Chains A and B, each alone.
Chain A
Amino acid sequence: MSNDSTKSIDAGLRTAIDKSVSNPVMFFFTSGAVWLAVSVLLGVFTSVKFHTPSFMECFGGLTTGRAYAAHINVLVYGWCFQAAFGTIIWLMSRLTRKEFKSSATVLVAGHLWNVCVGLSLVGILIGKSTGVPWMEFPKFSWVIFLILYLFIAVPVFTQFRVRQGGHVYISQWYLLAALFLFPWIYGTANIFVHVIEGSAVMAAAVASWYKFALIFLFFLPIAFSAAYYIAPKVTGRPVYSYNLALLGFWALVAIGPWMGMQELVGAPIPAFLPYVGATATILFFLPAITVGLNILMTIKGHETLAKQSPALRFTTAGTFGLLALGGFAIWLNLPSVMKGTQFTITGYGFEMLALYGVFSMLIFGAIYFIVPRVTQREWLAPGFIRLHFNISVYAVIAIVIGSILFGILLPGVAQEQFSASWKSSANANLASDWFNTVTWLCALIANVFFCFHLALMWARLGRHSKHPTLLVDHHGGSAHGADGKVQNI
């Protein structure tokens, strides 16, 4: 057969695979985007409450403690998980070159997942939160989430087992690692916090470990998986270095499980535990620069594409976010700086940089790539995408300046003043709080547009065209094919 006909058959197979996963993938992305908008709105409420405590004080459900817990948990379980599920299913099906057979099962699990998130959110707002960071959802929910996860993960793993061809691509390493690590992380954390009655300090330590394990062993691997797919796919060149990818992967898997307890430095737990956590978090610098540079070197030389293609633009921005995260991982965990991060929102800023600046940005990139394929329609409005991108970048910058930098420089330093009153150092948080309000207002604008755009695509109202939606008017060549012509057929 000729090369052209192989390509044409490939395109047909790709389309068949995309159609087979269309329903669950679009469901996860769209409902995730709705939860993201809800979470960001709750983020605005939370930060406004910090600097203007009288705001909305007539609503008991929106007191700071409840709004904050709802904001974080909806972000994690509503948006991050569902965005991750959509990405996992699509990537695994594409990379195993087989149609996905379990769409119905996964779709049912996805609906139940949303019901569970909704009920748990109501639980938090009426005051039934457990009070454990990132596990505030009422106790009933964790078993349900774990079971639903298995209904999503087992079909994906089955998909891997029946794959065509023996080669396992870099993205699949990360997907498999995340698939297997999650039940361990989630089960361990919930059993130690909710089932086994132990020391409350140890429960706090386990909760910190859970938080970091979830970010660095589940969410970020899936984001890396997407980036390792999007960057070479759009640029049309191989991933820069296989060895670097190996190093980045094994470094993350080896380091990730040790992270987290540095949050408890100064708490009455054995002193080596926070220091081990700090060391591991510093070592996250290794996977951050290896993965980050590997992806950036893959994109290098295709700067025009990185401007034009929504997928590649978000991927590039998320990769820069990853490099920043690696740098902050070192700086924030130096013993001298670590002291200043206690009782400030620096830790929150670091988590938000990981979840929004890296994970969400890379997943947005994947979504802008995946959605036109599974819906077979093109994105409607480049203006919406540009707006989503620009304002998201502003939000990430505001997170870095407001939460991470001001979080240390002002309240952290103020706390160390021996003769100053505690109130004066608490007041130093105000700058961060105002910045946070700006952050989440930016993110709110960006994500309302994103959510609306995605909902239109879900409703199959996208453009029916052979022209991709590009962000910059292009002259001449584009890997998406020249105007009016479809490449590779």
Chain B
Amino acid sequence: MADQKPDLNEDSNVLESHAELASSASSARENQLQENGMEPVSLWIILACFFGVLVGGTVLGKSGGFSYNNLTAKGYVTSQPEGGLEKAVQPKPIIDVFAKNGAKIYSAKCQGCHQPNGLGDGANFPPLGNSEWTTSNTLAFSQIILNGVMGPIEVDGRTWNGAMPAQAAGMTPTDLAGLMTYIRNSFGNSTGDVISIEMAENAIAAYKERNSAAPITVAELESKYMSDLEGAVVDPAVKVDPETLIPVAE
């Protein structure tokens, strides 16, 4: 074509030179996009896709089917303890939980003398039921448990001359609170209140303050300890987790 137009080659020169003038460096150095490649699709990619479809299908299968009435997928329960809901630890009133814990301490430490029914043996060991010492003046009651007590002591219209050994060894505030709550609501006693852990801590503090290995006497009790334990009063009906003893919101 150029041969036929010897004086002016308008096919290429004009466009070319304009293009070259107009193009910016970055546009000019670009590669052209090429036709799409036709590499064979790797078997691994196909297998991976099958894996995805398989997992997806499994999940779809767990949906419980197409139903507008089914609002909860099968097996979807956010919280399920081991062994199912029936065996779950259910929140209970704090008084029941404390008394239950206290009963265990009682059977380990107390019932040898005071008997499983809490009424003593009628000869050497006084009853805990129907006793002013257990149902009033919780500070005095706590000090009897922790320090032991040296007779004579008047209980249920009788004077007892035995000596009760101290029970403070290994007694945690939780144990003491449970034990006192149990005794004050068993064996015919029904104060209906709870010795809180805070109160039990104060009792142990008072025991440590006394700092004596000798069992406490009635005279000493009457001089210093005839009062209730300090600490916030807990509503006996409040529900707590039986294991953590932490109140549970309803």
Contacts and interface: CB of A to CB of B under 8 A. Distances in A.
A487 B29 contact: yes
A237 B248 CA distance: 66
A419 B89 contact: yes
A441 interface: no
Nearest to B42: A293
B56 A11 contact: no
Task: Name which of A274, A285, A487 has the most chain B CB atoms within 10 A of its CB.
Answer: A285
B56 A275 contact: no
A373 interface: yes
A190 interface: no
B37 A283 contact: no
A240 B66 contact: no
Contacts of B63: 271-272, 274-276, 279
Interface string B64-92: 11111111110110111100000011000
B76 A330 contact: no
A268 B28 CA distance: 59
B78 to A, nearest CB: 6
A489 B36 contact: no
A411 interface: no
Interface in B215-250: 241, 243-244, 246, 248
Contact of A415 (B33, B34, B78): B78
A13 B36 contact: no
Interface in B8-26: 11-12, 15-16, 18-20, 22-26
Interface in A366-405: 372-373, 376, 378
Contacts of B73: 265, 271, 274-275, 335
Contact of A489 (B26, B28, B56): B28
A229 interface: yes
B37 A240 contact: yes
A282 B23 CA distance: 47
A74 B18 CA distance: 44
A5 B12 contact: yes
B2 to A, nearest CB: 10
A417 B36 CA distance: 54
B62 interface: yes
A15 B29 CA distance: 11
B228 to A, nearest CB: 31
Interface string B28-47: 11111111111111100100
Interface in A318-349: 330, 333-335, 339, 342
A74 B208 CA distance: 63
Contacts of A334: 55, 59
Task: Name which of B11, B31, B42, B72 has the most chain A CB atoms within 10 A of its CB.
Answer: B31
A335 B241 CA distance: 29
B57 interface: yes
Contacts of A245: 36
Interface string A418-431: 11010000000000
Contacts of A339: 76, 78
B29 A468 contact: yes
Interface in A137-186: 169-170
Task: Name which of B32, B33, B55, B246 has the most chain A CB atoms within 10 A of its CB.
Answer: B33
Given A244-B41, A282-B52, A285-B52, A15 B24 contact: yes
Interface in A13-69: 13-16, 18
A271 B62 CA distance: 10
Contact of B36 (A242, A297, A481): A242
A272 to B, nearest CB: 5
Given A376-B24, A418-B80, A480 B29 contact: yes
A243 B41 contact: yes
Nearest to A330: B55
Contact of B26 (A5, A169, A270, A376): A376
Closest 9 CB pairs of A and B: A12-B19, A275-B63, A236-B31, A242-B36, A11-B23, A285-B52, A376-B24, A238-B37, A466-B25
Interface of B: 11-12, 15-16, 18-20, 22-42, 45, 48-49, 52-53, 55-57, 59-60, 62-73, 75-76, 78-81, 88-89, 241, 243-244, 246, 248
12 contacts: A8-B23, A15-B24, A242-B38, A270-B68, A272-B64, A272-B70, A282-B52, A285-B49, A289-B48, A334-B55, A416-B79, A419-B81
